[in-house]
Every structure is written in structure tokens, then in C-alpha cells.
Structure 1
Amino acid sequence: MDSMPKMEELIAELNRYNYHYYTLDEPVVSDKEYDALYDQLVALEQESGVVLPDSPTQRVGGEILKGFTPHRHLAPLWSLDKAQNPEQLRSWNARAVKLMNDYNTKNPDTPLPPLGYALELKFDGLTLNLTYTDGKLVQASTRGSGIVGEGILAQVKTIKSVPLQIPFTNGTIEVQGEGIMNLSVLAKYNEMAAEPLKNARNAAAGALRNLNPKVTAERKLSAFFYNVGYTDGIRFANHQEMMNFLRENYFKVNPYVTYFDEFDDVMEQLAEIEAGRSKLDYLIDGAVVKITDMRTREVLGYTDKFPRWSVAYKFEAEETTTVLKAVIWNVGRTGKVTPLAKVEPVELAGVTVQNCTLNNAGDIERKNLKFALGSRVFIRRSNDVIPEILGKVTEEKDGEEIIFPDHCPACGFPLVQRGAHLFCDNKLGCKPQIVARISHFASRDAMDIETFSDKTAIQLHDGLEVRESADLYTLKFDQLMKLERFGEKKANNLLEAIEKSKEKDLASFLYALGIPNTGKATTRMLADHFRDLHKIMDATAEELIELPDVGGIVAESIVAFFADPFTRAAIDKMLSLGVQAKAPAEPAIVKTDSFFSGKTVVLTGTLHQLTRDEAASRLQALGANVTGSVSKKTDLVIAGEKAGSKLAKAKQLGIDTIESEDEFLKLLSGEQGV
């Protein structure tokens, strides 16, 4: 029996499913159904001894290669000129405008159209150049010198978003894109890897330039495509046509491609991209601006190195290298002892970095940092948080050893290891734990004791032997006056603020207690559900786990926290001293006929005339469902000042936006708008 027709049928079906899953992110069959068809194909290939060129079974990686073969590109892969700041970007545009005007002056009968711009993300991976002949993928290579690259066809075939066959069968084309490793894929890989990968860029480049394609396949790479460099028998009028061609031929095109007629709009959108880059699941190091009209590109041409019709706008680096100088160990309010790395000062993302997080002792081992003191390390900073050390630049144990403590660096109590973390269990006698718990209790989102600070907590601990948050409610004026820099006014202000805090609601009190594994959203939900402190204290894990967003770990944390006699005694003491932990007010009647009724609304950016919480409360009272992230289910995004990626995503998805705070306030007040 001829198995070829069945094999061709299975290959077509499996490749279609791959396209929907890996390129469109829209799976159309279950994994089980896909696997059954895949197994059929494998069996037929083994039985017949034939493997067709576009078979998905080739994506698992074949034999180890002896070396890379050179590939001469059919058209040059140009580098891009770089703009480091807005002034340089405007200078690039001014030159392009001048060249266009000069041409139009000399050619009045065939003028170029007004400039239009495409704005794309600049991916931080490895450039790929794919060659297709009569619809078949026949070669893939690195950029190399731009004229000659290295053939990596076997490696690229393991990328499941790369089509092995395309509908365009009229000759040869070369398509350029970027091979990447998604950050979520990198994190998952590192959870299981004996040797964790340092960062996504190196992981992708290392996989694609590995002579063993099976290693490439294990990295589960992806790729985005953005250019057709060489074509037989097809021309495009503009960039939009070329991108549509790529989509129609099953290439994965990043959804963040935007088009503008005005250059000022390009500048504004660049700020949006930079603000939201830390929320992407892949690395970018900038954005690329391209003039869209193809005839204009031909007229503007190239310098010796760069096209004049395109420029890369570079963002501040989020990754760099520096020297690890020392590791110190800090104790937090839960007793967790965490390492903090002191590094040689280095500029990164616009700030001077001197400290980096190391997470825990297990992290040091996992990242091959145990012998890294004095060695050069990779660091990454994102989302305005303290930078993280990703790993050593070299694999050798060429540095001094980081010594893990066995006793608390603050109080000398023996440490215990739970999971990857070290803990000091001396919570009644360890100063950093006590001070951190009291500072958290008094913080704005908790009991909101005005004028209180970490320095105040230290003074109260050292001078008045305040050992727990409940002790705050026993403080007297004469005691405070004994403290350094405490005058009459400061003492009275603090006592008034402490007295006022007794009126805080139940949710704030629960958050102030610092229950492990709970945040503001969880404590608010507990308060709204139980509406009584003692009911929460007596709740079982079975009761708690039935609540929204409460899993087994959180439920057990809450139960264990309130089962502690020290916690119970402290709460009883505070209640006896007048702390009310008031139940939340009864839910207000929600309007069903307002502009916001039934809408899913996202707030982003800074509002000046009311807080984010106030805005959310008023929206909910008007019947809106307020959520934290933008999706296809979002009806409206309200953007304050410095709104970033959420506003950009809303515009990309065509979601209605309100970008005027005055307009928003009018709608809240019931005045007609939008």
C-alpha cells in the first residue's frame, strides 16, 4: 500500500495545527489530538523509510553537525544607523525629508508621496535569513557579515513558528527575522536545567549556533519576521503590503507594528514602547523606524553601511556586566535571610547600580555564583526594581567563595533552611524583624500612622523597648520626650496619629498584621467576605480555600498565622487598647444606568484630582467592573498622566480610551461625554 498520500495529508494537517498554535497563538485542536496524528506520521515514516522535507518530525533536531557551511545572501543584510536620543532621531528624519524634497524639486512629474512611517520593535536575539524556493524552506543562515552568514537550516527547522513550506511558490525569496527565546520559556527551562541559562539573548544565539540541533529544539525558540530582503517576481508598493505578504505566507509577525503619517506621533509612540518594555515576554533593546513607501526607499538609497530610509532608536540598556565585590545578608520582617550583592558601580537604564538582588542561597548555587566574588557577572534591571544578577560571565570557578551564614547576622540565632531560603526563627528577639514588622504595621496601606518611619521604629525599639506593634498603643508622652529629636510637637503628633489609627478598617488591620503570602487584595477580600475579625481568625483552611484567589498555600499561611499564641495575644492586646478593626461598610447600591454600567474598565497612569482607589470605588459604584490588565474583554481604558503599555495595548486592540482627566470626572458626575 502506498503510504505517501496519507503522509502528505497528515503533514498538511499537522503543519496547519502548528501554524495556529505557534504563530497565531490560537490552538484549534487539543494536545492529545495533535499527538495522535503526529504518532501516525512517525509510524508511517518508519514503515516507509521516507521523510518528506516539510514533515514536522524534522523539528526535533537531527544528528550533530560537523560544522557550519557558509551561505552567501541573495541580497545584503544591512546594519541600521542608530539614534541614541530624540534629537538624533529628529535629525535622521530631517535628512530624509530634505532628500525627498530635493528629489521632488528635480522630478516634478513623478514626485514622491509625503513620508509615512512604520514603527516596529527591535528584538534582542539572533538575526535569521530564511531562503525559500518554490515554496520550500531550503536554507537558513545567520546574518554574519551581512554578505555571507553561517548555514543553520537544521537548527532553524526546530523553531515551530518557522514555516517549512509557504503558499508563495513563484521563485525564490529571502525573509529576515529574529530568533528569540521568550522570557517565560527561559524561566521554565531554568527551573529544570542542571546549568541555567544566563539570559534570553545568549540562550537564543547559543542554541542557533549549536552544532547539535537537538539542543536547539530543547530551548523551544520562537521567531518574529519583519522583512523580505530578496524576491523573484513580486514587488511591494509599501511596508504594509510586505507585512501582509508575510502574514499570508504563515510567518509570525509581531502584532506591535504601527503606522503614522506624522513624525511627532512616532516620537510619542516610542515613549509608550519604552515605558511598557518590561512587561513584554521577550527582550527588546529599542524600536525601528522605517519609511513605508518602497519607491521612496529606492530613491533615498544607502550609505556605505546603512539604509537612509530606516533607523534604530536605542533604549537604555537593561542588561550589562560588572564585578561582584561582596555579598551581605539581610533579615526581613518574616525572618527570611536574603543575600544582597554589592557590585562595582555601573550605569544601567539611566541609573548607577551598586546593589543587586540574589533572591536566596539556592539562587546562588543555581546560577553558578558560589565562587563568583571578584568575578564579572551579568546583571539585568527592569520595571524600576533593584537589578538582579543573572549569572557569571565565565563558567570557571575563578572567584572567591560566597560563604553562607549558619547563624543570624543580626542576632546570632541558629538559622534553619526551608526550601531555598534561610530563616531566623527568633522573631521576638531579632531587631531587624521587629523593626520591619512595626514599620509595616504603621505604613500607609496598613494602619497609616502619619509621621512614622523606619527611623522612628528603630528609635522606639532602642530607646523604649518597643518589641511588637501592640506596644505602640501603650506609648506615653513622657516616654517619647526622652528620645533624641523628639520635641513636644513631634511627640503629640505621633500620639495623635497612633490614636487615629485605632479607627482603621478591618482590611487595613489585616494587611498591617503582615500575614505571610497575603497582600492588599487578599486581606480586602477576607474583610469583605467574613466582615468580622474573629471569624477570620477562626476560619479553617477548608473554608478559606473556597474563596476567590485563595489556594492551599495561602489558606495554610492564614490558619498557621492566627494559630500562633504570640499573634493571638498581640491582637487581643490591641483590641483591649481600643483598636477597632471595623467591618467594612455595607456595599452601596450599584447604579445600572450610568455610562460605565456593565463595562470592564482599566485605570492606568497618574490621576491628580483623585487617587486610583477613589477612582476605582466610584467606577464600581456606577456599575463598572474594574480590572488591572488590558485584554480583548476590556471595554474602556482610562489613562492618566504617564500612561504606558496599557494605553498602547488598548489602542492596538481598538479599545475605547479616555485620556482627559476632566472628561473622566465629568462622566463620573453623570455629565454627558464620549
Structure 2
Amino acid sequence: MNPMHRMEQLVAELNTYNYHYYTLDEPMVSDKEYDVLYDELVALEQTSGLVLPDSPTQRVGGELLKGFTPHRHLSPLWSLDKAQNMEQLRAWNARVVKLVNDYNTKNPEQPLPSPSYAIELKFDGLTLNLTYTDGKLVQASTRGNGVVGEGILAQVKTIKSVPLTIPFQDGTIEVQGEGIMNLSVLAKYNETAVDPLKNARNAAAGALRNLNPKVTAERRLNAFFYNVGFADRIQFDSHQEMMSFLRNNHFKVNPYLTYFDNFDDAMEQLAEIEESRSGLDYLIDGAVLKITDMRTREVLGYTDKFPRWAVAYKFEAEETTTVLNSVEWNVGRTGKITPLARVEPVELAGVTVQNCTLNNAGDIERKNLKFALGTRVFIRRSNDVIPEILGKVTSENDGEEIVVPDHCPACGFPLQQRGAHLFCDNKLGCKPQIVARISHFASRDAMDIETFSDKTAIQLHDELEVREPADLYRLQYDDLVKLERFGEKKANNLLTALEKSKERDLASFLYALGIPNTGKATTRMLAEHYRDLHKVMSATVEELVELPDVGGIVAESIVAFFADPFTQAGIEKMLSLGVRAQAPEAPQQKKTDSFFSGKTVVLTGTLHQLTRDDAASRLEALGAKVTRSVSKKTDLVIAGEKAGSKLAKAQQLGIETIEDEDEFIRLLEQE
């Protein structure tokens, strides 16, 4: 075959695979198959000395650039007016409605439709403006001042979700979007980076404005697109039509794009987005509300700075800076030593932040925090998760040193380094470990010992020398009743609760033991598979990795935990004291002929007739697979009251939904 013809075939095939993988999230081939074709293309290019304009080999980044070339946009890139609260949003909408009504009064023969709204996520990255001529990407630039930006074509070509060619080949268009770095990609990058990146926004902006495109390529950026700013031979009647054009031309459009005819419904969606944004794998700092009808946009026009037909609703900041005052080293129930940062109090995402997490000593080094005490640092908070320190504001070592301990801060025992973390191995003599293990053992999802609390664990440790969970079952009434804040009633209640806890099933007991790297789902699966405590204890790594969702690390954690003589002795003591740890009832045979059989189902929103867990259990009994996130593999979404982004994504993807709870119950109960 002619080498040029083969290169054309390979470029077309690889670009198709890239589009399905990076834009549609629907891989068509394995990485290995892709690599074979890619390597063949590289060899042909090296032999022939030719590279086709849309070859995927261009995405690795080329030579170092000397500087940025100014690019004048074919159409201005406008800023957006901002609303900080619902009252300001309603004021914006009132102005829109008034302008529409005024126009219709003056032009009754061609009235504008009642306003309808599109809601898009407001990405926290770097604005991109891409120019395509006759279907080929010929320029890419930053926003700049809205009229002139910086040419960054070589950098943008490294983003694999940016199409190098598009099906639309009729003239010139400019498409706007946002270059971002996914949070999972940022975390992976920082694991090995010599200079860790402080946050995803700066990482994306720094990569795209870097004169070395190879640096851009290393950051594995992503992009979403949301507007056609200029087109000389095509027009759109609505926002929906424009988005369809973008999708049809292989641009990645974010699935969280929703449409509303009613303004109040749009407001509810904004509240849902703000509440659920911490679950996204990229940063957003708000949402954008747009009028969908293009003729209405034209009539409403622009102020000196903003379009009147769009507004940005800004969320409360999730990132800010504050001063790092001190670092404490805390001991967990597994003996792991974790640093906790004390910072100067600062308002962030609606709360006052005083404590921030630092994962381990290595994290301190990677984030250039070794000499950061007394200096200003970046912090980030997501919903109720404890805020995290991202890095120092400056790169100088201008603060006091954070000293990493070599002995346990609680008991003085020498610390051991295992993997990325420090551990105290003094299991029988380190109070924080003991108290945490006992509290976990007694917790609701474990042995569910009623009336038990962290204070109770501390008191029993200090005054009755309770050193392990087995000691709980040796407690006597005469010992308890003498304790401070313990009367006859409290003593009897605790003893009754301890006696009831002996009947907990094997899954609860395994979870209560606190096996490292395992949660409720894993311990339940172990209980259902082995149905006997001693079989779990004697399982091998080779056996365990064959089980669902058990990888090598989890398998090794389970085996090492049960190999510990301390663990074995504690379990045997509890069994001798009456703890039964019985196998669960045999699972019922899943139905294969129900409405839900074989379907992947997502539950979202609030159900009133049964709990979410009950609904999931009943669905699984009927042969369904219940998952948390909506994807193209989802078959059905059950939407209760106040269902938000998951329902919106399902509708966007054309996934079947049930939004009537009575109908859902009827389907559950039908034979």
C-alpha cells in the first residue's frame, strides 16, 4: 500500500478512536490496540518525513516557542455580568422580561417568545477561542482583553478532546470553550511531580500559557465547549441548535447542560449544582444562565461590557489563602500518624476554617511546605470535607520548619515508615489508637452498641483499663456503676447493649474489626462469600483477588491483618465471651424476569415511601445493578423529590427516567 494512503487511513482511524475516548467517554479499542496503530503511524512519519495536519502525533507538543503571537478575535469575547445571590438573579430576569415585553408592545406583528433558559456550568480554567477554516483548526488563542488574545495553537493541539478537524467545512468559525485540568489528573500528576501544582485552575492556565508545548502535553488537559462566537456561513435559531452543532462537529459539550421554560425551576437547578459541585472531577466557580432564543439575544443586545441575555451566578469561593500557624501530629486507630494544620481562621464556602488536612510527611515535602510555618498558604474546601492545604503562596523557604516526628507524639514509641505514612506499632499501649479502635468497634455501622460514645471509650480506657474490644465483654455492673457519670441505669443500659451486640452478623463484625483498606461493601462481600469467620481469616491473597472489587492492596491488607497474633488473640477472646459473628442469611435468588432485571439503575433525589438503602436492596433483589453515578452505561434513573444534576445528565444522555415515586413502587411490587 502507498505509505501516504496508509498514513491517511491511520490518522482517520486514530482520530476516531480519540474522539470516542476523550470526547464521548466511549472507548472503542484497548490501549494496547491503539498503541500498535499509533506506533505504526510514527514509524511512517519518520520514514517519509511527512506529517499530516491532523495527525495525532502533533499532540505530544513540539519545539520551544519564542513568544506568543497576538491574535485578534473575529468576534468579541464578552465578559458576563455577575449575580452573587438569588435576589440579584431575579433582578436580572425582571430586566429581561421587561425588555422582552417592551419590544413585543412595539412590535406586535413579530413578538419575541417568552424567555426560556439554558444553564451551563461555569468552569474555573482558561478561556479558549478556536478558529476553524474549511474544517481545519488554524488558530487557538486565550481570551486576552476580549478583542485581542495570545495565540496558543501549539499548546491547544496537545488537548486530546480538541478536534484538529471537524465535519463542518464551509468557511470560518470561532468556537469558545474552557481549558481545564481534571482534579483526578492533577492528583496523579502531583504524585510524581518534582514541583507539585497548587490547584487545577493555575495548572491549566500555566500549561496553556507555557512556551514549551511539551509541558502542556504532560499536564493532560481537557476542554469543554459552549459557544460559537463567529460563523460566516451558518446561523442558529436557539442555544439548543448551537449545542447540537458543536456535538455534531466533535466538540466536547459538558453533560450538565439543562433547559427550563420556568425561571423558578432554573433557580432550583442552580441550588442543586452548588450543592453537588464537590462531586465533580473539575473546578467550577458558578453557573451561567442564558436566554435560549437567538432572536431574543439579538434584541436584548449588550451593555458596554456584558450581554444582557446572560448572567453568571457566582458560588461561594472554595479556595482562598490564610496563614499556617502550626502542625499537630495525630494518631489514628491503625496507628497511622497524620499531620493536622492549624491555620488563621478564614471564611471559606460559608464556614470559618481553622483546621486543614495534610496527608503525610511526603505531602508536606511535595507541596513545598517544609518551611511554611507562619507563611501564607492556599487552602481548598469541598462541602463538608475538611479543607486541604494546596501549597505555599510563595516559593521561598521563608517560614519556620515543620518538624516531622520520629517518635509517637502520644506514647513516645519509635515510628515506622510504611509506604507514604508513619505508623506507631504500640497497639496495646498507645491511647489514641486504643480509644479509636474501641469507638469504631462500637459504632452504628459496626457492632452498634447503643449509648456508647467516644467519651465512654476514653473513660473505660482510663478508669477500667479497657485496651481492646474484647475487654468490653468482660465489663461488670459493679465496676461500671462506680464510674463518674455512670448510675445504675446507664450501667445496665451499656451491659444490655453489649449483650445485644453479640448477635451482630459476620459482616458487621468484620467491619467492626477495622481491617485497613476495607469498607462496609468489602466486608459484606467477604461475609456473603465465605459465610464463616475462620474461612475469612485463613483466606489467601490469591483467593481474595479473584473476588469482586478486591485488588492486590486490599487483599494483602486483609491477609496481613488476620496474620497478626494480636488480631487473632482478640478475635478468639470475643468468641469465647459469646460474640457469635454468624453468617448472613443465604441471599435470595435474584429475579431475572422483572422490569429491573439486568438494568443498571441510579437513585437520586428524596424518596418518601422507603429509604434509599431499602430501594437499592429491593432493586438488587429484582436483578438490577445499582450504581451511584450516571453514565452512558446507565439504563434507568429513579428520580425522587429535588433530583438535580444526575436527573439532568440522564435527560441530556437520553436515559430512561422514572420521576413518579408511586410508579416506582408499583414496579417494585409487581410480580
If the length of structure 1 is used for normalisation, what is the TM-score?
Answer: 0.93
Distance (whole Å) between structure 1 residues aligned to residue 270 and residue 301 of structure 2: 25
Residue 282, structure 1, aligned to residue 292, structure 2: no
Paired residue secondary structure (1:474): coil
Question: Aligned residues, how many?
Answer: 671
Between 364-373 and 156-165, the greater mean CA deviation after superposition? 156-165
Q: What displacement does 1:238 show?
A: 1.5
> Equivalent residue for 1:574?
574
Q: What displacement does 1:5 show?
A: 5.5
> Equivalent residue for 1:405?
405
Q: What displacement does 1:53 show?
A: 3.6
Q: What displacement does 1:411 show?
A: 0.6
Q: What displacement does 1:642 show?
A: 5.2
Does the CA-based 8 Å contact 1:416-1:424 persist in structure 2?
yes
> Equivalent residue for 2:537?
537
Distance (whole Å) between structure 1 residues aligned to residue 52 and residue 552 of structure 2: 49
Residue 259, structure 1, aligned to residue 246, structure 2: no
Residue 432, structure 1, aligned to residue 432, structure 2: yes
TM-superposition CA deviations, 1:1-57 (whole Å, max 9, x none):
996665555544443443333323334445455445544544554455544443433
Does the CA-based 8 Å contact 2:256-2:648 persist in structure 1?
no
> Equivalent residue for 1:64?
64
Distance change (3 Å), C-alpha of 1:499 and 1:371: same
Alignment RMSD: 2.5
Distance change (3 Å), C-alpha of 1:28 and 1:633: closer
Between 648-657 and 211-220, the greater mean CA deviation after superposition? 648-657
Distance (whole Å) between structure 1 residues aligned to residue 255 and residue 639 of structure 2: 22
1:467-506 superposed matches below 5 A: 467-506=467-506
Distance (whole Å) between structure 1 residues aligned to residue 552 and residue 36 of structure 2: 35
Between 386-395 and 442-451, the greater mean CA deviation after superposition? 386-395
> Equivalent residue for 1:616?
616
> Equivalent residue for 2:384?
384
One-letter amino acid of the structure 2 residue matched with residue 388 of structure 1? E
Distance change (3 Å), C-alpha of 1:642 and 1:402: farther
Paired residue secondary structure (1:312): strand
Does the CA-based 8 Å contact 1:602-1:629 persist in structure 2?
yes
One-letter amino acid of the structure 1 residue matched with residue 507 of structure 2? A
One-letter amino acid of the structure 1 residue matched with residue 307 of structure 2? P
Between 605-614 and 77-86, the greater mean CA deviation after superposition? 605-614
Q: Structure 2, unaligned stretches of length 5 or more?
A: none
Paired residue secondary structure (2:207): helix
One-letter amino acid of the structure 2 residue matched with residue 183 of structure 1? L
Q: What displacement does 1:87 show?
A: 1.7
Residue 420, structure 1, aligned to residue 420, structure 2: yes
Does the CA-based 8 Å contact 2:257-2:652 persist in structure 1?
no
Distance (whole Å) between structure 2 residues aligned to residue 31 and residue 539 of structure 1: 33
Distance (whole Å) between structure 1 residues aligned to residue 383 and residue 371 of structure 2: 29
One-letter amino acid of the structure 2 residue matched with residue 384 of structure 1? D
Paired residue secondary structure (1:154): helix
Distance change (3 Å), C-alpha of 1:32 and 1:607: closer
Residue 171, structure 1, aligned to residue 171, structure 2: yes
Paired residue secondary structure (2:102): helix
Does the CA-based 8 Å contact 2:269-2:644 persist in structure 1?
no
Paired residue secondary structure (2:277): helix
One-letter amino acid of the structure 1 residue matched with residue 226 of structure 2? Y
One-letter amino acid of the structure 2 residue matched with residue 561 of structure 1? F
One-letter amino acid of the structure 1 residue matched with residue 140 of structure 2? A
Does the CA-based 8 Å contact 1:370-1:402 persist in structure 2?
yes
Does the CA-based 8 Å contact 1:272-1:648 persist in structure 2?
no
Between 335-344 and 52-61, the greater mean CA deviation after superposition? 52-61
One-letter amino acid of the structure 2 residue matched with residue 342 of structure 1? R
One-letter amino acid of the structure 2 residue matched with residue 139 of structure 1? Q
Does the CA-based 8 Å contact 2:59-2:217 persist in structure 1?
yes
Residue 343, structure 1, aligned to residue 352, structure 2: no
Q: What displacement does 1:432 show?
A: 0.4
Distance (whole Å) between structure 1 residues aligned to residue 6 and residue 619 of structure 2: 58
Distance change (3 Å), C-alpha of 1:609 and 1:133: closer
Paired residue secondary structure (1:601): strand
TM-superposition CA deviations, 1:577-611 (whole Å, max 9, x none):
22221221233455566554554433344555544
TM-superposition CA deviations, 1:336-375 (whole Å, max 9, x none):
0100011111222221111111011111111111111112
Q: What displacement does 1:136 show?
A: 2.9
Distance (whole Å) between structure 1 residues aligned to residue 655 and residue 627 of structure 2: 14
Q: What displacement does 1:569 show?
A: 2.2
Does the CA-based 8 Å contact 2:505-2:580 persist in structure 1?
yes
Q: What displacement does 1:63 show?
A: 2.1
Between 390-399 and 103-112, the greater mean CA deviation after superposition? 390-399
Does the CA-based 8 Å contact 1:73-1:147 persist in structure 2?
yes
Does the CA-based 8 Å contact 2:258-2:648 persist in structure 1?
no
> Equivalent residue for 1:602?
602
Distance change (3 Å), C-alpha of 1:548 and 1:159: closer
Distance change (3 Å), C-alpha of 1:611 and 1:260: closer
Distance (whole Å) between structure 2 residues aligned to residue 620 and residue 54 of structure 1: 47
Distance (whole Å) between structure 2 residues aligned to residue 49 and residue 578 of structure 1: 78
Between 537-546 and 216-225, the greater mean CA deviation after superposition? 537-546
Distance (whole Å) between structure 2 residues aligned to residue 157 and residue 197 of structure 1: 22
Between 587-596 and 508-517, the greater mean CA deviation after superposition? 587-596
Does the CA-based 8 Å contact 1:639-1:658 persist in structure 2?
yes
Distance (whole Å) between structure 2 residues aligned to residue 91 and residue 587 of structure 1: 57
Paired residue secondary structure (2:473): helix
> Equivalent residue for 1:396?
396
Does the CA-based 8 Å contact 2:225-2:254 persist in structure 1?
yes
1:175-574 superposed matches below 5 A: 175-574=175-574
> Equivalent residue for 1:583?
583
Distance (whole Å) between structure 1 residues aligned to residue 620 and residue 18 of structure 2: 42
Between 64-73 and 203-212, the greater mean CA deviation after superposition? 64-73
Distance change (3 Å), C-alpha of 1:84 and 1:502: same
Q: Structure 1, unaligned stretches of length 5 or more?
A: none
Distance (whole Å) between structure 1 residues aligned to residue 185 and residue 541 of structure 2: 33
Does the CA-based 8 Å contact 1:376-1:392 persist in structure 2?
yes
TM-superposition CA deviations, 1:55-78 (whole Å, max 9, x none):
433322222222212222221110
Distance change (3 Å), C-alpha of 1:605 and 1:425: farther
Does the CA-based 8 Å contact 2:256-2:645 persist in structure 1?
no
Does the CA-based 8 Å contact 1:537-1:559 persist in structure 2?
yes
Distance (whole Å) between structure 2 residues aligned to residue 28 and residue 584 of structure 1: 41
Paired residue secondary structure (2:330): strand
Does the CA-based 8 Å contact 1:604-1:638 persist in structure 2?
yes
Q: What displacement does 1:576 show?
A: 2.1
Distance (whole Å) between structure 2 residues aligned to residue 24 and residue 658 of structure 1: 25
TM-superposition CA deviations, 1:271-309 (whole Å, max 9, x none):
332233222222111111111111111110111111000
One-letter amino acid of the structure 2 residue matched with residue 373 of structure 1? L
Between 490-499 and 29-38, the greater mean CA deviation after superposition? 29-38
Q: What displacement does 1:391 show?
A: 1.4
TM-superposition CA deviations, 1:482-541 (whole Å, max 9, x none):
222112222221121111111111111111111222211121112212222222223333
Does the CA-based 8 Å contact 1:275-1:644 persist in structure 2?
no
Between 88-97 and 246-255, the greater mean CA deviation after superposition? 246-255
TM-superposition CA deviations, 1:239-293 (whole Å, max 9, x none):
1222222223332222222222222221222233223322222211111111111
One-letter amino acid of the structure 2 residue matched with residue 521 of structure 1? A
> Equivalent residue for 1:85?
85
1:632-643 superposed matches below 5 A: 632-640=632-640, 643=643
Residue 137, structure 1, aligned to residue 140, structure 2: no
Does the CA-based 8 Å contact 2:190-2:196 persist in structure 1?
yes
TM-superposition CA deviations, 1:109-168 (whole Å, max 9, x none):
111122121111111110011222333322221111111111112212222222233333
Residue 161, structure 1, aligned to residue 126, structure 2: no
One-letter amino acid of the structure 1 residue matched with residue 240 of structure 2? Q
Distance (whole Å) between structure 1 residues aligned to residue 424 and residue 173 of structure 2: 63
Does the CA-based 8 Å contact 1:450-1:497 persist in structure 2?
yes
Distance change (3 Å), C-alpha of 1:434 and 1:641: farther
